[in-house]
């Protein structure tokens, strides 16, 4: 019995010729209301578990029986207990939360009772907590990324779209601001399409670069109340800084996020990296497979990753197409493009 969580589990083992084949894991939740939130509308969360883990989940009131291979049934049990914790904490369950818990269970190896591996209670994916949102890493790569952000002053994050590079970076930056560990958040993204000569665009500087920074704004509004974002922009706590305007500055007590860094030149990357001042941190994100620089021009991201390998205080995290968390279809699209690139070489 996990008394504090309001869930109990029972194990029934089926044997054939003395070999362990399948198990029935019975999980009881606090009441039908909690069970309904954990299992999902029309048991959609259980259906998702069945599809992902190849098990059978049979719900009855506040109880569910998980039938399948020992390790998969235990993983499903682990996921439902994690979802039970989210519900009891007043949090909403999304499909991504379920996928993240599945990845967390898989990362710990065999969870079957009696296994010598680490138990799920002793190992948990890292998370970001802001006043507006609480987000847990949804796979091992994101877990490594969050740990790197906490332990290093400069972090390079490379990988395809949909892996959470920018979104998690913004969330971590907001967390540092709310904790008072930094005073400012500085956002920068190369405006390759306009060659960084933005004078012909209408409006002030913020209005000129807004189209290029929209993904970062979206992430900010996810982690902060809209009124706090607007106040931060007005007071300078959140600053939008085109690359050309970073030259000559020394940034102290700030967290700097350089997004789409694959589209920086070698000179721009070196300039940005040397802006770091006392008490500052920097996160550089980009996708080396999506370079929009003129033909023959080196990507500052690729060059910096090579030159700075092994430098103390710098971490490099690489995401793969298997780490895409946006949507299953996005993962399949990225994989298909990568496969086509390999075949075309």
Q: How many Cα atoms within 13 Å fall on the side-chain side of residue 258? A: 30
H-run or E-run covering 158: strand 154-158
Domain boundaries, the chain: 3-122, 128-344
Query: Lowest-confidence range among 7-11, 269-273, 280-284?
Result: 7-11
Q: Is the pLDDT of residue 51 over 60?
A: yes
| pLDDT tens track for 165-178 | 999 999 999 999 99
Model confidence band, residue 327 (pLDDT cutoffs 50, 70, 90): low
How far is it, in rounded angstroms, from Cα 57 to Cα 74? 12
Average pLDDT, the chain: 82
Domains 3-122 and 128-344 belong to one CATH topology: no
Q: Classify domain 128-344 at the CATH superfamily level.
A: P-loop containing nucleotide triphosphate hydrolases (3.40.50.300)
**Residue 99: is it exposed, middle or buried by C-beta count within 10 angstroms (0-12/13-18/19+)?**
middle
How far is it, in rounded angstroms, from Cα 83 to Cα 8? 14
Q: Is the pLDDT of residue 16 over 50?
A: no
How far is it, in rounded angstroms, from Cα 328 to Cα 212? 26
| pLDDT tens track for 82-130 | 899 888 888 888 888 888 888 888 776 543 444 444 344 445 788 999 9
Distance (Å) of CA 179 to CA 185, 223, 224, 255: 13, 14, 13, 13
- Residue 276, both tokens: 């770091």
Mean per-residue pLDDT, 129-138 = 89
How far is it, in rounded angstroms, from Cα 231 to Cα 238? 9
Per residue, what are the HEC states of 187-216?
EECCCHHHCCCCCCCCCCHHHHHHHHHHHH
Architecture category of domain 3-122 in CATH: 2-Layer Sandwich (3.30)
What's the pLDDT at 4? Answer: 42
Q: For the chain, what percent of residues have pLDDT higher than 90?
A: 36
DSSP helix/strand/coil, 179: coil
Cβ within 8 Å of residue 122, ≥6 positions away: none
């Amino acid at each position: 019995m996990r008394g504090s969580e309001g869930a109990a589990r029972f194990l029934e083992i089926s044997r054939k010729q003395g070999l362990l084949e399948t198990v029935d894991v019975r999980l009881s939740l606090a009441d039908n209301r909690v069970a309904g939130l954990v299992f999902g509308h029309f048991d959609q969360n259980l259906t998702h578990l069945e599809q992902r883990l190849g098990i059978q989940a049979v719900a009855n009131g506040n109880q569910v029986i998980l039938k399948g291979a020992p390790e998969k049934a235990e993983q499903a049990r682990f996921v439902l207990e994690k979802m039970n914790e989210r519900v009891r904490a007043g949090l909403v369950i999304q499909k991504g939360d379920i996928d993240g818990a599945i990845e967390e269970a898989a990362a710990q190896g065999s969870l079957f009772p009696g296994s010598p591996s680490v138990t799920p209670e002793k190992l948990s994916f890292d998370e970001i907590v802001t006043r507006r949102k609480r987000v847990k890493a949804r796979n091992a790569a994101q877990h490594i990324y969050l740990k790197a952000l906490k332990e290093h002053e400069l972090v390079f994050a490379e990988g395809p779209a949909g892996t959470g590079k920018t979104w998690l970076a913004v969330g971590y930056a907001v967390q540092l601001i709310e904790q008072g560990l930094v005073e400012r958040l500085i956002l920068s993204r190369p405006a390759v399409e306009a060659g960084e000569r933005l004078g012909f665009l209408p409006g002030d500087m913020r209005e000129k670069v807004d189209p290029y920074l929209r993904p970062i704004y979206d992430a900010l509004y996810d982690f902060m109340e809209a009124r706090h974002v607007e106040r931060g922009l007005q007071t300078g706590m959140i600053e939008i800084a085109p690359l050309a305007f970073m030259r000559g500055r020394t940034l102290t007590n700030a967290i700097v996020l350089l997004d789409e860094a694959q589209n920086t030149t070698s000179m721009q990357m070196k300039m940005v990296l040397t802006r770091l001042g006392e008490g500052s941190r920097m996160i550089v994100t980009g996708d080396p497979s999506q370079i929009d620089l003129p033909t023959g021009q080196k990507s500052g991201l690729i060059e910096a990753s090579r030159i700075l390998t092994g430098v103390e205080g710098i971490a490099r995290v690489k995401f793969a197409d298997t780490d895409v968390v946006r949507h299953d279809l996005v993962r399949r699209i990225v994989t298909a493009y990568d496969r086509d690139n390999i075949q075309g070489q």
